Amino acid sequence: MEQLWAPWRGKFIESFKGDGCIFCDLPARGEDRETLILHRGREAFIIMNAYPYAAGHLMVAPFRHAARLSDLTDSERREIIDLAARCESILTTAMRPEGFNVGFNLGKAAGAGVDQHLHCHIVPRWFGDTNFMPVIGGTRVINEDLYATYDKLKEYLP
């Protein structure tokens, strides 16, 4: 499925050219705004999805490379769930969605784009936020600039 983006998107895409793991490599850069990292916890972090299903699509991932929930420590699991709940609260306040899709895609067969480093998706949803474009045009329309969303959400995080 294609997406409609402004030309500024190319800068982000070109900024990450590597064979490594984005959930390991991006936090190591220390360039949080450029890499869309909104918050760093002790063992996990919140990052915006660079290819969102909807404006405000966030992900929570552990810093440690782990593919399965059973690979996580108890404290990593707790922090990931706590940060996901925090994302729900922040998105509710900042963007006023009418619902959420929250979950993990574990493994390629489950739809994981990065299947060796688990991450939780938090996708805000609104009534009528889907339309004919994905079905007929194979294109998803995102209604807000990524960095405008980043700046909006960052106000709610230390």
State how far the Cα of 55 lies from the Cα of 94, in Å rounded to an integer.
11
State how far the Cα of 70 lies from the Cα of 74, in Å rounded to an integer.
9
Tokens 């909807």 locate to 54
- DSSP designation for 121: E
Enumerate the active-site residues.
119
Residues 6+ apart with CB under 8 A from 110: none
At 146, is the secondary structure helix, strand, or coil?
helix
State how far the Cα of 48 lies from the Cα of 147, in Å rounded to an integer.
10
